[in-house]
A and B are shown apart, each in its own frame.
Chain A
Amino acid sequence: MRSSVIIFPGSNCDRDMDVALKKFGFKNQMVWHNDQSIPKSDLIVLPGGFSYGDYLRCGSIASKSKIIKSVIDFANSGGLVLGICNGFQILTETGLLNGILQQNKFLNFICSNVYVKVKDKQNKYFKDLKKDVLELHIAHNEGNYFCSEDELKLLEDNNQIAVTYCGKDGTENETSNPNGAIKNIAGIFNKNKNVLGMMPHPERMIDKYLSGEDGSLFFKNILDNFK
């Protein structure tokens, strides 16, 4: 499976993503934001970081990059587009995903492991995933997902909520919500579920000697579903 990771000025999880993708057998290439086109890919990843120093709004400047037109065309033709953290913020700013990531409710930068519940498995990312709750890592200041009531209803009706913050046993409540996100939302899909944006970093959980291996399940699953 071929993947491309887009690098913006200020991306800082691009190399981690490259390492993770290659570890599980993706043929990955790095693509600069100022390029006009993306090499043939089955998956495009917008990595985490602080593109353009989070100026104006997180992800807003990157969402106007030269490369983004190709990303949107790729997404609209059904290609898999994954945005992690700042990548999720960029995807909402491009309009590929609904809503926006606002500043965390308690105005703090959060860096910790969290549990997320997989809410939908009828998609190429989570289909046949053996676990329902994953332990992943978050590191963000703007992860407080917000959208209008109408948009939320559409997300719910169409099963576009991908992952939600929860406790170790899968319970979703205020205690397990680190940033104030509406309905504990940690990640969402577009309508066709080929575009996934999420705040947690699966690429940081790919080695038992670092912090855990639930991210490995995530990447292996994408590959398995591609076969």
Chain B
Amino acid sequence: MKIKVIVTLKNGVLDPQGKAIQQTLNGMNFGNVEDVRQGKYFEIEVKEKDEKKAKSLVDDMCKKLLANLVIEDYKIV
């Protein structure tokens, strides 16, 4: 079963790359871009048929490795 995870920076944490992307978009005449936050996306193939179990396993992975909870939030989608 494939589980998808999105990791993003927490609100309030400076995202210099997002800022650079926003400024570039503004410079390309996408003037209405007010903010960009960059994140990470994972597709994790788990050998598990039960979706609830698989997601709970991935949740544990997020806490232990995939996200650093000091600055990042994660969402299992």
**Residues in chain A within 8 A of chain B (CB atoms):** 56-57, 60, 64, 92-93, 98-100, 102-107, 144, 146-148, 151, 180
A146 touches B70 (CB 8 A): yes
In the complex, chain B residues 3-36 whose Cβ is within 8 Å of any chain A Cβ: 13-14, 16-17, 20
Q: Are B20 and A57 closer than 8 Å at their CB atoms? A: no
Cβ-defined contact, A57 with B16, below 8 A: no
A60-B68, A100-B70, A146-B13 known, 5 other contacts, Cβ within 8 Å:
A92-B70, A105-B14, A106-B16, A107-B16, A146-B70
B71 at the A/B interface (Cβ < 8 Å)? yes
Q: Is B65 at the interface (CB under 8 A from chain A)?
A: yes
Choice from A56, A104, A107, A151 contacting B65 with Cβ under 8 Å: A56
A100 near B20 with CB under 8 A, answer no
Write out the residue numbers on chain B whose beta carbons fall within 8 Å of the beta carbon of A106: 16
Query: C-beta contact mask, B44-77 vs A, less than 8 Å → 1, else 0?
Result: 0000000000000000000001101011000000
- A sample of 19 inter-chain contacts (CB < 8 A) reads A56-B66, A57-B68, A60-B68, A64-B65, A93-B68, A100-B68, A100-B70, A102-B13, A102-B14, A102-B71, A103-B17, A105-B16, A106-B16, A107-B16, A107-B20, A146-B13, A146-B71, A147-B70, A180-B14
Beta-carbon nearest neighbor of A105 in chain B:
B16
Cα separation A107 to B13 with both chains bound (whole Å): 15
Shortest CB–CB separation between residue B73 and chain A, in angstroms? 13
Interchain CB contact under 8 A, A148 and B14: no
**Given A100-B70, A148-B70, A60 and B13 touching (CB < 8 A)?**
no
Least CB distance, A37 to chain B, in whole angstroms: 23
Question: Given A146-B70, A146-B71, A103 and B65 touching (CB < 8 A)?
Answer: no
- Kindly state the separation between the CA atoms of A167 and B14 in the bound complex, as whole angstroms: 25
Closest CB in chain A relative to B43 CB, distance in Å: 15
Q: How far is the CA of A98 from the CA of B71 in the complex (A)?
A: 12
B68 proximity list for chain A (CB < 8 A): 57, 60, 93, 100
When C-beta atoms are compared, the residue in chain B nearest to A99 turns out to be B70
B71 touches A100 (CB 8 A): yes
Q: CA of A164 to CA of B56 in the docked complex: distance in angstroms?
A: 41
> Which residue on A lies nearest to B13, using beta carbons?
A146
- Counting chain A CB atoms within 10 Å of each CB, the highest count among B17, B20, B70 belongs to B70
- B9 to chain A minimum Cβ distance, whole angstroms, is 9
CA distance in complex: A106, B13 (Å): 15
For B70, the chain A residues whose CB sits under 8 A away are 92, 98-100, 146-148, 151
Minimum C-beta distance from A63 to chain B (A): 9
